[in-house]
Amino acid sequence: MISFAGTRSGRAPLTWGQRAIWDAIRRTAPDDRYFNFGRVLEVPRGARPASAAYVSRGIGLLVERHEALRTLVGPGACQDLRDRGVLPVRIAAGADPDLVLAELSATAFDYADEWPLRVGLVTGGGPLHEDEVTHVVLVFCHMAADGLGAEQVVRDLRLFLLRGGLPGDPPPQPLDLARWQESAAGRRQAAAAATHWEREYRRIPATMFDLPSGAAERPPVRRAALSSPAIDLAAQRLAVRHGTSTSTVLLTAVSALVAEVTGHETVAVLPIVSNRFGRDTRTAVTTLSQEGLFVLGTGGSSGGPVRTRPGAGFADLLAAARAAVLRAYRSGYHDPGDRERIVAETSRERGVPIHPYCCFNDMRFTERATDHDDELIRRAPSETSLTWPLSQDELNCRFCVHVSDATRVSVTADTRWLSKADIERYLLGLERLLVEAALR
Amino acid sequence: MRSTGDPGAERDRMLKERLAELVSESCDGEITTAEALEATVPLSYLGVTSLAQMRLIDALEREYGVEIDLGGDVSFLDSVDGLAAWVSAAR
C-alpha cells in the first residue's frame, strides 16, 4: 500500500480529452478493458538495489505531483480530484513483468471508486533479493493518461529512482486544463476546430465501411497484427523522398487503401492527435489525445478510378496530405460537445448518421527516416508475419489502424463490416502499396 | 555584411533569426537555427515534420498574436523567408 497526500482536491467538468475517452469507454463497455494500457520500467542500474519501500515512495510522490493519478470520475461525469488516499500495490516475487502487466490490465477500472493507476512491483525473489525491485509495472486507466502522459510518469519515476527527487514545477493539471478550455482563448480554439469538423461533415461519405461483409465472426471484433520490416523500410524511404514524416506516409497509405477497399473517393479518417503542440502541455500527465479529422480526396478530377495504384498517384496523394494533416492535427483539440452537436446537425440535414468509424493511431513516441537500398526493401516482405491477438464483442469503431512500432501495424475491425479475410488482405495490401511506391 | 545600417533591413534580419530559432525549437534541434536560415530546400526535407510544424504554428500564434488559417496554402511554413513574409503581412 502507498499512502499519498496531495495539496488540493476539487471538482471540475471533464477536460475535452477526458470527455472524449469517457465517451469511447462508455460505448465500448463492457469490453472497456480495451482502453487499459501499461508500461514496464526496469529499475535502472544506477538505482539498484531499490527496495520496495523506496520505489513505493517514488510512486507516492508521482501520485501527489500528477493530479490525474488521483482523479476519479465523479457524479454526472465530472473530474473528482482527491487530495489523499491509499494506493494498492501488487508485489510479485520473481514474476515475469509482462505477465504482471497482463494481469493488472485484464479488468476494466472502476472509474468512480478505483484510483486510475495499478501498480505491480516485481522483486528479485530468493532469500538474497527478496525485497529488491527489478521492474515496476504501471497500468493506467485511460481517463488518467494517454500514451505520452504515461511516458512522462515513467520518465519521472526513472528520474526519482536515480536521484531520489523530482525537479521543477509540475506541468498543467487536468483541473487547470478544464478551466482554460472554458476561457475565451479555449473557446476560440474550440471554434476553429469545430469549423473544420462542420465543413467536412457536410461533404464526407456518411461512413467509410457501409456495406455488410456477410461474414461476421463471433465475437465480431477482431484484430490482425502485421509484423513487417518492409512497411518500415518503405515508409522511411517515401518520407525521405517526399520530405514528410513516416506517420504522414502511413496515414496517407491507410487512407488510399480504405478508398480502394470501400470505393469511396473521398476518405475520412480520424487520426488520434496528441494535442501536445504547445510548450506547456507537452509534459502534462492527462489524456490530451483526441481524434482529429483527416480528409483526403483520392479520386482523379475526371471522377475516374481511385489513384491508389502505386507510383505517381501516391506521390500526388502525399502532396495533398501535407496540408490535410495539419488541418487534421489542429481539429484534434476540440470540444466533444461541439462535435456532438455537429454530428447531430449534419446527420439531420443529410438524413443519415455521419461518422467515419475509421481511425488511425500512430502510438510511436519518436520516428526516424533514412533511405535504404532497393534490394533491402525488395527482400523485406519475406520476413512479414501476421497474428490475430484480440477478439471481443464491443468496439466504438468499425476500423482502427494502430502503429505500435515502426514494423508493427494492426487493424482492429468489426467483421460485420470487414471480413476477417479482408482484414488480412488489407494489411498485406498496405505493405504492397508502400513497397511498390518506394521502389518506383 | 550582416548589418546594413538600414533599420528596415535590420528588423527583417532580427525577425528571420527569431523565426529560425522557433523552427529549431519546434523540431527539438533536429535542425539548427543556422541551418534553418541557410536552407535551400524546403524545411520539411530537413526534418521539420508535420508535428514540428504544429509546434511552430503554436509558437508563432503565441509570439506574434496571429491566427494561422490552415485552410489555404501553407507552403510558407517551409522556409524562413516564407515565414517572415507571412508574419510581416499578418501583423
- The CATH number assigned to the domain holding B62 equals 1.10.1200.10
B62, part of any domain: yes
Chain B residues lying within 8 Å of A290, measured CB to CB? none
Output Rg (C-alpha) for chain B, integer angstroms.
13
pLDDT at A303 over 70: no
A402 touches chain B (CB under 8 A): no
Q: How many independent structural domains does chain B possess?
A: 1
Separation between Cα atoms, residue A413 and residue A209, nearest integer Å: 10
Comparing CA positions, the residue from A247, A254, A233 lying closest to residue A374 is: A233
3-state helix, strand, coil split of chain A in percent (to 5) is 45, 25, 35
What pLDDT sits at residue B77?
94
B21, part of any domain: yes
Spans of all domains in chain A: 2-178, 189-439
Q: Are A136 and A157 a contacting pair, CB within 8 Å?
A: yes
Please write the tens of the pLDDT for every residue from A180-193. Answer: 999 999 999 999 99
Sheet of A89-93, strand order = A37-42, A129-140, A117-125, A89-93
Chain A residues lying within 8 Å of B74, measured CB to CB? 322-323, 326
What pLDDT sits at residue A301?
42
Q: Flag if B50 and A329 touch (Cβ within 8 Å).
A: yes
Q: Are A354 and A347 a contacting pair, CB within 8 Å?
A: yes
Secondary structure (DSSP) of A112-166? TTS-SEEEEEEEEETTTEEEEEEEEEEEE-TTT--HHHHHHHHHHHHHHHHHSS-
Separation between Cα atoms, residue A38 and residue B16, nearest integer Å: 44
Q: Are A407 and A385 a contacting pair, CB within 8 Å?
A: no
pTM score, two decimals?
Answer: 0.93
Q: Are A139 and A101 a contacting pair, CB within 8 Å?
A: yes
CA dihedral A309→A435→A298→A249, nearest 10 degrees, is -170
Q: Flag if A326 and B74 touch (Cβ within 8 Å).
A: yes
Domain extent at residue B54 = 7-90
Secondary structure (DSSP) of B28-71? TTSS-HHHHHH-SS-GGGGT--HHHHHHHHHHHHHHH-----TT
Separation between Cα atoms, residue B56 and residue B83, nearest integer Å: 10
Is the ipTM beyond the 0.85 threshold? yes
The neighbour count for residue B76, using CB atoms within 10 Å, is 18
Closest chain A residue to the Cα of B70, Cα to Cα? A327
pLDDT class for B3, splitting at 50, 70, 90?
Answer: low
CATH of domain A2-178: 3.30.559.10
Separation between Cα atoms, residue A78 and residue A68, nearest integer Å: 13
Closest chain B residue to the Cα of A370, Cα to Cα? B47
Chain A residues lying within 8 Å of B41, measured CB to CB? 243
Q: Are A101 and A120 a contacting pair, CB within 8 Å?
A: yes
What pLDDT sits at residue A279?
86
pLDDT class for A307, splitting at 50, 70, 90?
Answer: very low
Q: Which three cell numbers stand for residue B11?
A: 528588423
pLDDT at A128 over 80: no
Residue count (chain B): 91
Sign of the dihedral through C-alpha A232, A235, A241, A244: negative
Sign of the dihedral through C-alpha B23, B26, B31, B34: positive
Q: Flag if B44 and A243 touch (Cβ within 8 Å).
A: yes
Q: Flag if A323 and B53 touch (Cβ within 8 Å).
A: no
Closest chain A residue to the Cα of B52, Cα to Cα? A277
Q: Are A225 and A389 a contacting pair, CB within 8 Å?
A: yes
pLDDT at A310 over 90: no
Sign of the dihedral through C-alpha A121, A125, A127, A132: negative
pLDDT class for A368, splitting at 50, 70, 90?
Answer: confident
B67 touches chain A (CB under 8 A): yes
For B18, the enclosing helix (H) or strand (E) is: helix B7-26
Q: Which three cell numbers stand for residue B44?
A: 520539411
Closest chain A residue to the Cα of B22, Cα to Cα? A279
Do A2-178 and A189-439 agree at the fold level? yes
Average model confidence (pLDDT) across chain B: 90
Average model confidence (pLDDT) across chain A: 94
Q: Which three cell numbers stand for residue A96?
A: 515475469
Separation between Cα atoms, residue A404 and residue A412, nearest integer Å: 13
Chain A residues lying within 8 Å of B62, measured CB to CB? 278
The neighbour count for residue A164, using CB atoms within 10 Å, is 12
B1, part of any domain: no
Q: Does domain A189-439 have CATH number 3.30.559.30?
A: yes
Q: Which three cell numbers stand for residue A170?
A: 509540475
pLDDT class for B42, splitting at 50, 70, 90?
Answer: very high
A246 touches chain B (CB under 8 A): no
Mean pLDDT of A28-54: 95
pLDDT at B90 over 90: no
What pLDDT sits at residue A251?
98
Distance from CA of B8 to the nearest CA of A (A): 31
pLDDT class for A311, splitting at 50, 70, 90?
Answer: very low
Mean pLDDT of A205-228: 97
DSSP collapsed to 3 states, A411-428 = EEEECCCCCHHHHHHHHH
Which of B70, B74, B78 best tests the A interface by mutation, with the highest count of A CBs <10 A? B70
Mean pLDDT of B69-83: 91
DSSP-derived letter for residue A313 is H
Q: Flag if A247 and B71 touch (Cβ within 8 Å).
A: no
At which residue does the C-alpha cell 473544420 appear?
Answer: A196
Q: For residue A419, what are the CA distances in angstroms to A212, A330, A423, A431? A: 9, 33, 6, 19
Chain A residues lying within 8 Å of B27, measured CB to CB? none
Q: Flag if B74 and A192 touch (Cβ within 8 Å).
A: no
